[in-house]
Amino acid sequence: MHKYFIKKLGNQELGSVNTYGVPQRGRYIFVSKSPEVLSIFPPLSEIVLNDSALLPILAMYSGEKVYCNYIYHNDSIARPGQGTRNEYRIYLNKGLDNKEKLFFLAGDYVIIRKVELFQDNVDNSFYALDYVKATDLGFASFISQLAPLRANSGQFYYEGEISQFEEKLHSISIQARVIVDDKVTAEIQKEEKAGRDISSLFSAQTFRDFVLAGYGYKCAITHMNIQYKELYNIEAAHIMPRSHSGLFMPNNGIALSRDMHWAFDKGFFTITNDLIVKVHPEIASEYLRLYDGQKIYVPENSFFIPDVNNLKYHQEHIYGLFKTTGRL
């Protein structure tokens, strides 16, 4: 038994697409305020102005996992008498559109359900999303049997199994490549400037996804990777370790190959404030010496660039740690 949110897309949501298929404004999906539908998505506060969450969405038509901003525009409640909005939205981006305008026409449907997935005691759950054209007669027949959540709203909640959806979902690898659109990070930075603690947006899963996407799935030191389909030898390393109260913030992370990750955690090398590799003088590894004094790969999006305070912590507390490891 699964819970589905089904939404018939409107022209305004699609960005008021012109005759050339080009949207005139940002694109989004309205989410119903019904308790049944909201139970599918992360809980958002009525008190916090424009509270938000990051949704990892598996775009079933492309096989890619795309992060989107899920925002509760609630100024009419959070600031009584000062606002008029009370609506939930999932904002689309180029990643979710698969670099094409897939939802061309008002009247097409999106289907969303949460897929709960726990691996190694880490919550790796995501939201599977697929779209159905209005011309799909089989789906039209199915929808005609459901009662909309509100009259003429085009929003539906369904408990059961949509076989076409589930068959397609099971044919897709859940280890999908992650896309983090610049619009997503820009929205997060806007919240940070407004004084919100954005660290609450990130978890172990989100940290890994954002860091690997920010570095293009390549090691920041070697600028290379080993890949087979969705398998990579690249890991998201904490600069200030979790065991030292380091956060899951992407600017506390760096993408490293597995051997570089191990050496970084042991303090065989550190990274200076100007992003230069500094190998410890007592390390005789010819391999590491190849990169001594070299600049790491710097992500194009500044959101992913390592925070100087985290780098300083690694320089002062982790660099050279191998010399004390194992001592009583």
Do residues 13 and 127 share a domain? yes
Calpha distance 65→199 (Å, rounded): 21
Q: Would you say residue 185 lies in a domain?
A: no
Domain endpoint, select from 121, 145, 179: 179
Do residues 55 and 119 share a domain? yes
Q: Would you say residue 191 lies in a domain?
A: no
Calpha distance 317→328 (Å, rounded): 18
Q: Would you say residue 192 lies in a domain?
A: no
Q: Would you say residue 138 lies in a domain?
A: yes
The set of residues, in sequence order, having a beta carbon less than 8 Å from that of 280 and lying 6+ positions away, is 267, 268, 269, 270, 319, 320, 322
Helices (H) and strands (E) in the chain, counts: 9, 17
CB distance 229 to 221 below 8 Å: no
Do residues 233 and 103 share a domain? no
What integer pLDDT is reported at residue 323 of this predicted model? Answer: 86
What integer pLDDT is reported at residue 281 of this predicted model? Answer: 95
Q: Would you say residue 193 lies in a domain?
A: no
Q: Would you say residue 186 lies in a domain?
A: no
Do residues 168 and 214 share a domain? no
Do residues 239 and 159 share a domain? no
What integer pLDDT is reported at residue 303 of this predicted model? Answer: 96
Residue type, 111: I
Name the one residue in this structure whose structure tokens are 């370790």.
241
Domain endpoint, select from 123, 145, 179: 179
- Helix (H) or strand (E) segment spanning residue 112: strand 109-115
Collapse the DSSP code of 164 into the 3-class scheme (helix H, G, I; strand E, B; otherwise coil) and give the result.
Answer: helix
Name the one residue in this structure whose structure tokens are 């940290």.
207
Do residues 303 and 225 share a domain? yes
Name the one residue in this structure whose structure tokens are 């619009």.
183
Name the one residue in this structure whose structure tokens are 């002062």.
316
Do residues 133 and 96 share a domain? yes
Q: Would you say residue 188 lies in a domain?
A: no
What integer pLDDT is reported at residue 328 of this predicted model? Answer: 37
**Taking the CB of residue 35, how many other CB atoms lie within 10 A of it?**
8
Do residues 152 and 287 share a domain? no
The set of residues, in sequence order, having a beta carbon less than 8 Å from that of 171 and lying 6+ positions away, is none
Collapse the DSSP code of 274 into the 3-class scheme (helix H, G, I; strand E, B; otherwise coil) and give the result.
Answer: coil
Q: Would you say residue 152 lies in a domain?
A: yes
Q: Which of 129, 102, 135 is nearest to 21 (CA)?
A: 102
Q: For the stretch 84-104, what's the b/e string if a residue is b when 16 or more beta carbons lie within 10 angstroms of its beta carbon?
A: eeeebbbbbbebbbeeebbbe
Question: Tens place of pLDDT for every residue, the chain, 328 residues?
Answer: 899 999 999 888 887 777 666 777 788 999 999 999 999 999 999 999 999 999 999 999 888 899 999 999 999 998 888 889 999 999 988 777 765 556 667 889 999 999 998 876 778 899 999 989 989 999 999 999 999 998 888 999 999 999 999 999 998 877 778 999 999 999 999 999 988 899 999 999 999 999 999 999 999 999 999 988 778 899 999 999 999 999 999 999 999 999 999 999 999 999 999 999 999 999 999 999 999 999 999 999 999 999 999 999 999 999 999 988 654 3
Do residues 170 and 224 share a domain? no
What CATH number did the domain enclosing 16 receive?
2.40.330.30
Question: What domain count does the chain have?
Answer: 2
Name the one residue in this structure whose structure tokens are 């012109």.
18
**What residue numbers bound the domain in which 295 lies?**
202-323
Do residues 153 and 19 share a domain? yes
